[in-house]
Structure 1
Amino acid sequence: MAKKKTTQDPALAQNRKARFNYAIEDTLEAGVVLTGTEIKSVRAGQITIGDGFVTINGGQAILTNVHIAPYENGNQFNVDPLRNRVLLLHKKQIVRLAVEAKEAGVTIVPLKVYLKHGFAKVLLGIGRGKKQYDKRQSIKKRDQERDLNRRFKN
């Protein structure tokens, strides 16, 4: 029997620090408006979302501070690597994000970038910033799980 094709490719970029720095409450998938050379760079995995965040301006969700490296063969068609990019969301989703982002301590961060049916998608996380003691608890929990896995492995 032939293997089934998966509709979702593995992540092209992940923001691993986001789950450490923020308590992610909810996630949301959004499309990204890219130029021709940008999508080629994204498919090559030349994207960095570590410092990125989402702002709501004029009824649009805008992905800010995400670096997409210029495409090698793009010459004059390359655009600014750090330009703001519009996210494709429904109006109700944008309104919901705007309401949640107005709360103190809430940030919308990109968690993952992947291709779905040939289109670039971003998994957004709505998160509250963790305090230093919360981060210490996360480190302690991770170390305990690692120790348990070592013990059961042997």
Structure 2
Amino acid sequence: SIGIALGACTVPAAGKPSFTLADNEMEFGVGIHGEPGIDRRPFSSLDQTVDEMFDTLLENGSYHRTLRLWDYQQGSWQEEPQTKQPLQSGDRVIALVNNLGATPLSELYGVYNRLTTRCQQAGLTIERNLIGAYCTSLDMTGFSITLLKVDDETLALWDAPVHTPALNWGK
């Protein structure tokens, strides 16, 4: 996932924006809770912004972490190292274009349009998508892009019926 903002959110307790941007400036890599991003860049166009975000997602290398899982038989925590491989041609993904709070839906569709083009060019197949306001940061103007690598098992779990205020599909 990676996000950008063209305007900061205003946290009610603070009463002022969490950061300030100049005209035609964007916060790149912004946090979902309104934290400043990894850098500030000039905003030129929606397509250029999506390209920069997509390239950043593809440039991520292998991700190594250690999970702590409870072993019920031994009654103790066990460590299990895991490595997640970066996205590559031939991968299948679920794509999420998320409104960070104050971005018109029509802009999100523009983001998704460019994202589909870039995924096709990179050899990624979008199996499912979500476009809308799923995890917002109050009144922040911006969006995030999430690409989740999936296999048949993950898609079957994704496609299972869900009925919540935010998501609703299946019988």
Name which structure has the greater RCO, CA cutoff 8 Å, separation 6+: 1
TM-score range, shorter chain: under 0.3
Bigger helix fraction: 1
TM-score of the superposition, structure 1-length normalised?
0.26
TM-score of the superposition, structure 2-length normalised?
0.24
